[in-house]
Amino acid sequence: MPRILIISNMYPSEEKPYAGIFVKNQYEYLKTIPDLKIDLVYMQRTFTGMFGSILKYFAFYFRFLPKIFNTYDVIHVHAFAAHFFLAYQYKIFHRKTKIIVTFHGSDYKNFIGNNIVSKIYRAMSEKIDCVLAVGNQELNYIKEYIHPKDSKVLCAGVDATKFYLIKDTVKEYDFLFIGSFYNHKGVDIFIDAIKLLDDKDLRICFVGSGEYLDDIKDLQKTYNISIFLNIDHDKLVDLYNKAKFLVMSSRLDAFGLVVTESMYSGTPVIIAPTGGLLDQVINNFNGYILKENTPEALGNEMKKASMISNEEYKLLSQNALNSNKQFSLQNVCKELETLYKSIAMDSKLN
């Protein structure tokens, strides 16, 4: 039976219930597979300062130390960051163990450049046996800087049991934004698009938290804006179903799970032409792709989306509902199971 150790510095907490939830979902699903032995070492995402973060990493390291004495066929590291050193250290003592790394976004930038840290990361990356990227564009970026023995595009996976169409739900929102209220998520582009449209009849919902929260609250004084900060999955699927469109104006997104979560709920999307968002959307079929990620382009697309007929919307919604089944958590974990068993066999042979 293959023995797998998953290492992640991303895991949900009470403070950040959705941070790294894909790791938790994968782990819990993989544990149900009878012919795999899965262990997990993780660090919860919480709000801390520099000192608190250092303490978290030290505690994370000491929780990992006992695993040095266990034998694993495969170590699967989520995100290529400082905690990759744990897998690197383990391989010193267990040379046959194979290392898989899933890159989740900008973590590939750690080995870009000629500074000492980047050089160390590039040298350490030679121990990676298989790279998993959550999007095609991300994998292309990675391969510009390192040359993994094997690679594959495999997203984190959407749990189809938690995101689904709720029939006869009344549409309470015209547009929905779900994500961190930070610049790289493009929430400011959405805010400026709302101001440009200047339509007080539009019903808009924001879900998330971050530095643009005060700007959204200011927007609420003039427009029909609803804000949800920390909500559970039951509420999240409810909001997807209550929205006519999801807006994803992200400047950088390796995949963007919320896009497929929205589609699994029958809600079409409006996306920026970037990263893994493009792996999920077919323009004018299950959503709309902006020609450029600007407030003007987004505003125009929102206006167009508001004017389509009920028949056109129903077709978009049905197409969204039938899209991206390959990105389900269940399918992703089946692919991981196959990969684990294949690479574990290679570990035993070599």
Looking at residue 99, its pLDDT comes to: 96
Task: Express each pLDDT in 191-202 by its tens digit.
Answer: 999 999 999 999
Looking at residue 230, its pLDDT comes to: 73
Phi, psi of 84 (to 5 degrees): -60, -25
Question: Tokens for 193?
Answer: 């698009």
Task: Express each pLDDT in 74-113 by its tens digit.
Answer: 999 999 988 999 999 999 999 999 999 999 888 888 888 8
SS3 189: helix
Looking at residue 234, its pLDDT comes to: 73
Provide the terminal-to-terminal Cα distance of the chain, rounded to the nearest Å.
17
- What amino acid occupies position 121? Y
pTM of the predicted model as reported, rounded to 2 decimal places: 0.88
Question: How many Cβ atoms sit within 10 Å of the Cβ of residue 223?
Answer: 16
CA separation for the pair 21, 271 (Å, rounded): 22
Domains, the chain, with CATH or none: 3-157+328-349 (3.40.50.2000), 173-324 (3.40.50.2000)
DSSP notation for 13-32? -SSSTTTTHHHHHHHHHHTT
Looking at residue 73, its pLDDT comes to: 96
Phi, psi of 156 (to 5 degrees): -70, -30
Question: Tokens for 75?
Answer: 């170590």
**pLDDT for 146 beyond 60:** yes
**Rounded average pLDDT over 283-301:** 98
Looking at residue 232, its pLDDT comes to: 73
Looking at residue 108, its pLDDT comes to: 80
**Rounded average pLDDT over 143-155:** 90
Residues in contact with 38: Cβ distance below 8 Å, sequence separation at least 6, in sequence order:
4, 6, 27, 30, 31
Confidence grade of residue 17 (pLDDT, cut at 50, 70, 90):
low
Confidence grade of residue 52 (pLDDT, cut at 50, 70, 90):
low
